[in-house]
Structure 1
Amino acid sequence: MIDLRAARAEPDAWRAALARKGAGEAFDELLAADEQWRALVPRVDELRGRTKLKGKPTPEQLEELQQVKEELRTAEEELAAAEAAREAALALVPNPPHDSAPDGDSEDDAVELRRSGMPTELAEVKEASEVGRFELERAARLSGSRFGFMVGDTALLAMALYRFAIDRVTAAGFLPVLPPVLVREEAMIGTGFFPTEKSNIYELEADGLFLTGTSEVALAAMHMTEILEADALPIRYAGFSTCFRREAGAAGKDTRGMFRVHQFNKVEMFVFTTPDDSWAEHDRMVALEENLLQELGLPYRAVNVAAGDLGAPAAKKIDLEAWFPSQERYREVTSCSNTTDFQARRLGIRVRTESGLETPHTLNGTVVTDRALLAILENFQGEVPDVLRAYGAPERVSG
């Protein structure tokens, strides 16, 4: 959640920033709810003070006390309702975008930062599912649309890719983690995926659990409500998990092949660090992602995502988009976000410093997903990058 005290101090600046995410009205509603709550607090405190009598009360004082207690009960109910309204309003206000995030509200408004490699030119272009073996029709009979089996050489290539990614980020100081993929609602709320992303999340209603669309949720909530020690930062995790997304609102988008599916695998970086170091950490994580794509030999470009296209938790996000010959365009394969203090504040995570308890910053960055596998299959049409053979990948993938 946002720092409400800071927002009260500079409401115009916060409103202008949040308006770039389309959240100016939500911010105004929060300030109104907050003002109503703050107006009730002194009244409740005053009534509570009047219930404390010294010595043996007189009959008149007892009568007055009963009246005060009734007024207090009503005032406390009003305060509780106002507090609930304020918390609900606060949950709807996203993290304001960083000044360097460009204006706009769609992927077309992202600003290209740089490119690496030239778009692959092929005499005959085959889509990834035509190069590898995915068994899409059989998966559809089993699970419905937007699912697929990975079979044979394709499965071996995928596992080599994940292991390669984990090896590289582990060497860069990230601790490997295999996290739970089922979490409680407070983890989804705390990381900022609820309420805005709830339509994309699978729910196990009978168990009160949700399937996560990224290991970011579990890795962030791993330290929920904890006080971290300053000398322990940065804490760097690399999670590997199967992820799930309902893809609500994606009807008609990327219906062919395995590009947009309900279930996929991902290696994810997650970092807890200090506010002073978070932007340098963001640059470092992006560089790691780029190094991996360069080692794989994939042509890609880096883009700065527009403010209005950022998710609720992110202040800034850099996407890396690999070239897909079958689509003749760059498509996102990794991303890296700085969520500043937004998630840690919602999760109740603090760090003990010399000046007292402070809120750390958190960052998340995709290392690889199955989309990187698709990019490899399309750009090399079955040939496998040498770097993956050490991790068990075949020399060539056959469908």
Structure 2
Amino acid sequence: MSAAQAPARGPLAGVRIIELGGIGPGPFAGMVLTGLGAEVIRVERPGARFGAADKVLLRGRQSVTVDLKDPEGAAAVLRLIDSVDALTEGFRPGVAERLGLGPDICLARNPRLVYGRMTGWGQDGPLAREPGHDINYIALTGVLHAIGPADGDPVPPLNLVGDFGGGGMLMALGVVSALLHARATGSGQVVDAAMTDGSAMLLAMTHGYLAGGLWQDVRGVNLFSGCAPFYTTYRCADGNHVAVGSIEPQFYAALVSGLGLADDPECGTQGAQENWPVVRQRFAEIFATRTRDEWAGRFAGTQACVTPVLSLTEAAAHPHNVARGTFLNGDGPLRPAPAPRFSATPAVPPVSAPKPGEDTRSVLAGAGFTEAELDRLTERGVIA
């Protein structure tokens, strides 16, 4: 089944979005929106090919190939804008304007349009036009400084915080919020989603702790930094790890009991931070005596908040994830299922990512292009 034939379900069923092709967080936002039921039309550049992650990130779309640097290509996209609710782009500031597809032109054509813009630094500010990546954005907002051991260097949390949590997810939320406003008022607007803004917002609780004197602005010495013996990971006998999150007193009591340390006086006072290094070492020595899965079995059902640290492929086979259908592992690569879940408007498993340009003619024909126009644009290389 192609994306165009997929049944319209989910809370955003009936919403049509143009996604101007980009990489990483922009496609992730589109993936989230398709999972919510939106119809997303991705505009690719000529010669576009699947990247390593595209089979997952680009699922559920329709794909058209248009040369946006050709005025006729930009004009073709403008005709599509007449019948959509939103447009998203991830270019550097000013690029969409140079292509003739900036928000002023698009909103003049469709006043109800939500125009979502995804950048690292935002549309303004001293760094707005500078290049960068996730690691740079989270470095400038304090996130990277806070992650890593006290005696070591900052550790990048993959590219989850800037690109996807602070970027793509925030863009999706911004687009949905602006769509609600547009439906209520008839007026569209521009959504400026910056990864610096989003990653800073993800630090809200940390800033609250800092302001309250409960957080030191030093890496590796705070509760969630891995230094607390009851909130960290431990290496097991087989080289794998368990994750311990026994923060509350009753969960900590279950932890020390499961480790055979219920009567140990040093382990009995959870909040005595001066004892943490000794207690952590003692926990580490005990965890090293059994395999990861033996410990997982030992703590199962004890409410100690001890779980195995699973690999990406192991996670898909865990009974809890299998029961909820958290991952899809049938037709196509292993991939996460759409989230969140809705009782009245459930999503359906997403269809596979289309080949670049697979839906070009059908989408443009639906926007009123004649066969003669499509043939001429194809011959000129404007569409493919």
With the length of structure 1 as denominator, give the TM-score of the two structures: 0.19
Q: Which has the higher strand share?
A: 1
With the length of structure 2 as denominator, give the TM-score of the two structures: 0.19
